[in-house]
Structure 1
Amino acid sequence: MSSFTGFFSNTIVIDKTLWQIWLMGLTVDNAINVALVQHRKRAAAAGALRPEQNQVAHFVTTQYRNFEIIEGFLHQPRQLSSQPLFPMPQSTKQFLIESYYGFDERVIRELLGKKLTSRVRKELEEVCSRTRVHIISCRRMFDNLKRIIKRVEDADAEMVSVIQREFLLPQDLAQQYANIIFINNYRFDTTKKRIAHLRFSDFVYVASIFMTHFTASTKTVLEELDASLAQDSRDLRALLFNSKETLEQLRVATAAQLASLGQQHILERAGASAFKVLLRNIMSIGAGLINNREIRDLFATIQEKVVDPCIAFPWSAADMSLFLDTVMAQFCGIGPAGLIESEVVNAQTRKRYSGAFARLVTAIKLAGMRLHAAAVGTQ
């Protein structure tokens, strides 16, 4: 009985190298071969006897058996802290949780925008072939993402806090999962040829911009994109483009402010119609935030309607940013060149719409700069 008690009180040894090999989906035989090479190198460096193969094989096999049992607790990470079978330091538990829920960006890039159905899980063989990530590892990432999505769907609190609380993940990893879930929930199309060059990191960054600026709040993943922003964008489009005087006043004020900064070349380089085209495209993007099809195409639309024209002008990402910042400043009446004297965009109208205008243009600016950098980097 004492030996039984002693066994449970001993801290379990987790070989972190073998754990990573197991997470990769490699077999016991693969792991034994890797472990033999490592142990022999260590023995040679220390001038010690080389380990017997059967000793290494026994150690690896035992580790793998333990990993398979531990995996059951990791499906609900909070259980790992309370289970008595494997006593271990908190730092080891946290390592196991974070590494188990870590993922290969190439695999998740393949899953972005999709509903995680059984059919998609069956297609992981193709994902495995394209990414060269072992199928077992691909399935783990798929199942982890699906498990987190299910837990978030049932919660009322803000996504990142729910993920942190329920899965004990650090904030940066929880935020990445929240961005992925946001993309998948709204079925954003990440497969179009125009944006095929974008990496996982580009998508999750831009998704975080959408979450911040395009939703009414971030309390739950299923909350609709902000319908009031879409309505304000439609109103703004009508306000600006049904009155040539208003649009011209805004263009002149923008040009004057850029000139005062010594940046008049930005509009000169773009051509006479650039101001009108870009502003109309941005307002149309905002107006489409209640249309499911337009929402699905949001990444590609920003690339096509905002980023590609700016690259063609040609503008750098900094040029595009300065232009949009200046347009915002003039519409909102900031600075001496604002529209304070405008007969159409009066103080009351600015007060009503400046928040929505700034919110929309800021989101397009931040998303556009990231997409611009990604596009230029591939040329």
Structure 2
Amino acid sequence: MLSEVDVFISNYTLVDPDIYQLWVDGHSCKFKWNSTLNRSTPIIENSHHSFLTHLASEAVNILHQRGICQETNAPIELIASDILDHYRTYALLEKLLHTPTKLASEQLAFQIEPQTSQMLIEMYYEFDDVVIRELLGKKLTSKSRKDMDEVSEKTGITLKSCRRQYDNVKRVFKIVEDLPGSLAANIEQHFLLSEDLAKRYAAVVFIACLRFEMNKRKLQFLTFPDLYHCANSMMSSWTYRCIGSEYFDTDLDREFLLELAECRVLLENDKHHKHLVCIKLRPMLLERSYQEIDTNFRSYTRAILGIGCNLHRSRDLRFFFLELVERCIEPWRQVNWTHSDLRNFLSVYTQCALDMDVLRDNELRDAFERYMTVVTCCLLRMYHT
């Protein structure tokens, strides 16, 4: 009997970005005996697509629909064989991708050009916002990994891709959680990621380390870009301003949080604060909006300051986002504030407080300004109208 054998010999490792993307996205191949051709052909696991007459590979089907046969003038069998060869190579590379520095400089098994190596790493560690949003607020345990089938069903992302993204987050988290200095810089150094992708992972690690509550029903409207925006603001303004081996991007400035608790002095002077705010806001708002702020100013300032004054307690810090939604965003939605109304109010509210004599102490003034910078940033981002 004659046997068909596919042989591929090469010097440099060839990487096709389109095929690699299919592999990264979880469109994985396996062999299935095809009695029609009397040969093994690649087939996608759990494929929901019926492919032509004798091939059942989703990856081949996708490229076929993109017109690869017309572009290359190659028969579909040759395309399938080439894809399968690429998949074998990527499977061998995957272990190295778990430690990108080894792939880039320490291994000798594959001859890969630097720009190709960078592309492999960047694409492998890229993630879908909807998948990562499902992970936020959950512990990175084996049970969470088992829940990836639910995440896959909810997001429409393949199960293999969801598991890859989960494993990547856990891998990054374990390496950098105990490293001093900038989270993003540490991730760039250890995983050779671009600055933008490293910052996105840094936000995920930051939220995980501080164990923010993210799973409550009232928070489900928040997207990963929303939370990324807020986390970046916190890391920029609320962590220690010093550099050294004892300072971590995952630690909030404890002295700042304790000083912030003293800002309750503004509550004792809320009438004066309200007077200043109303004078400045009147020309900016419609009469209805102005009257609403005039009536409810005390409850709004109690909410804003109450959240800040308790952040030195771990439990209150954990529920920071939920508190913003329940105590601030929901009441403003009920009275139909526009985004412009909110921006004007927060800007004037902050500036008028800074102009008051009760904040003449430099440390207290600095703490309040640091707090309101982040709260304003978060509320404006989270306030979906």
* TM tier relative to shorter chain: 0.7 to 0.9
TM-score w.r.t. the length of structure 2 is: 0.83
Alignment match, 2:272: 249
Q: Does 1:171 align with 2:195?
A: yes
Render the CA deviation track for 1:19-61: whole Å, top value 9, x for unaligned. Answer: 1111122232238454367469344356x4x4251x3333222
Shift of 1:172: 0.9
> What is the CA-CA distance between 1:267 and the residue it aligns to?
5.8
Gaps of 5+ in 1: 1-6, 334-338
Task: Find the aligned partners of 1:262 and 1:24 in 2 and give their Cα distance.
Answer: 50
Per the alignment, in what secondary structure is the counterpart of residue 260 of structure 2? helix
In the TM superposition, what is the alpha-carbon distance from 1:161 to its structure 2 partner? 0.4
After the TM superposition, which parts of structure 1 deviate over 6 Å for at least 4 consecutive aligned residues? none
Query: Hey, what does 1:199 align to over in structure 2?
Result: 223
Would you say 1:328 and 2:329 are equivalent positions? no
Code of the aligned partner of 2:60: A
The reply on whether 1:75 has 2:98 as its aligned counterpart is yes
Q: Which residue of 1 aligns with 2:159?
A: 135
Query: Does the CA-based 8 Å contact 1:232-1:356 persist in structure 2?
Result: yes
**Identical aligned pairs, as a percentage?**
30
1:105-125 alpha-carbon deviations (Å, 9 max, x no partner):
221111102220112112222
Structure number with the higher helix fraction is 1
Please, what TM-score do these two structures have when normalized by structure 1? 0.84
Q: Structure 1 residues 38, 195: CA separation in 2 closer, same or farther (over 3 Å shift)?
A: closer
In 2: Cα distance, 1:117 partner to 1:306 partner: 33
Match in the other structure for 2:23: 22
Distance 1:262 1:20, change over 3 A: closer
1:147 corresponds, among 166, 171, 174, to 171
**Counterparts of residues 103-252 of structure 1 (less than 5 Å):** 103-217=127-241, 219-223=247-251, 225-237=252-264, 239-242=265-268, 246-252=269-275
- Aligned counterpart, 1:44: 70
Q: Which amino acid aligns with 1:63?
A: H
Tell me if the contact between 2:176 and 2:183 (Cα under 8 Å) persists in the aligned partners: yes
**In structure 2, do the counterparts of structure 1 residues 356 and 57 end up closer, same or farther at CA, with 3 Å as the change threshold?**
same
Within a 5 Å distance, the mapping from 1:321-360 to structure 2 comes to 321-333=343-355, 339=356, 345=358, 348-349=360-361, 351-360=362-371
Q: Do the aligned residues in 2 keep the contact of 1:233 with 1:287 (CA within 8 Å)?
A: yes
Taking the aligned partners of 1:205 and 1:75, their CA distance within structure 2 comes to 27
Alpha-carbon distance in structure 2 between the residues aligned to 1:182 and 1:200: 13
Gaps of 5+ in 2: 1-8, 30-42, 45-55
Counterpart of 2:60?
A: 35
Contact 1:181–1:221 (CA under 8 A) maintained in structure 2: no
Q: How many residues align?
A: 347
| Distance in 2 of aligned mates of 1:357 and 1:325 | 13
Question: Which residue of 77, 85, 90 maps to 1:62?
Answer: 85
Does structure 1 conserve the Cα–Cα contact (< 8 Å) formed by 2:281 and 2:290?
A: no
After superposition, give the CA deviation of every residue in 1:78-106 in whole Å (9 maximum; x if it has no partner).
11122232222222111111110011222
Q: Is the 8 A contact 1:163 1:169 kept in 2?
A: yes
In 2: Cα distance, 1:329 partner to 1:280 partner: 17
Contact 2:350 2:372 in 1 (8 A): yes
Kindly state the Cα deviation for residue 313 of structure 1 after the two structures are TM-superposed: 2.9
Tell me if structure 2 keeps the 8 A contact 1:110–1:127: yes
Q: Separation in 1 of the partners of 2:276 and 2:367?
A: 20
TM-fit CA distance, 1:268: 2.3
1:269 corresponds, among 291, 296, 308, to 291
Query: 1:269/1:200 Cα in 2 relative to 1: closer, same or farther (>3 Å)?
Result: same
Task: Tell me the equivalent position of 1:91.
Answer: 115
Change over 3 Å in CA distance of 1:361–1:15 after alignment to 2: same
- 1:290 shift after superposition: 2.0
CA distance in structure 1 between the aligned counterparts of 2:129 and 2:61, rounded to whole angstroms? 30
Q: Deviations over 1:249-282 (max 9, x none)?
A: 22111222223x4447476232434221111111
Amino acid at match of 2:189: R
Distance 2:379 2:61 in 1: 50
Structure 1, 213-222 or 184-193: larger mean CA deviation: 213-222
Conserved? CA contact 1:121–1:139, under 8 Å: yes
Q: Distance in 2 between matches of 1:13 and 1:316?
A: 54
Q: Structure 1 CA distance, aligned partners of 2:374 and 2:183?
A: 20
